[in-house]
Amino acid sequence: MSGFRGSDERLDREIAQLERIARLRLARAAAEMRELERDHRELRRERGRRRAASTEEATAPTAVPA
């Protein structure tokens, strides 16, 4: 990045603006990460339920016709 040619006040405003942008992007990324983690937990729970159901089906006694 080249040297900043604006006034000190302009430089302070630019710095403040970039800090606001960074905080906003960080908050959005954190929210997205929480959403991904929630989805991941739900998918793992579903996998556990399916495995449990398939195990129950495999171990359930079946009626054999006589």
Q: Convert the pLDDT of each residue in 15-62 to its tens digit.
A: 999 999 999 999 999 999 999 999 999 999 999 999 999 988 888 776
SS (H, E, C) the chain: CCCCCCCHHHHHHHHHHHHHHHHHHHHHHHHHHHHHHHHHHHHHHHHHHHHHHHHHHHHCCCCCCC
Q: Convert the pLDDT of each residue in 51-66 to its tens digit.
A: 999 988 888 776 666 6
What pLDDT sits at residue 15?
A: 96
What pLDDT sits at residue 58?
A: 81
- Average of per-residue pLDDT across 5-11: 90
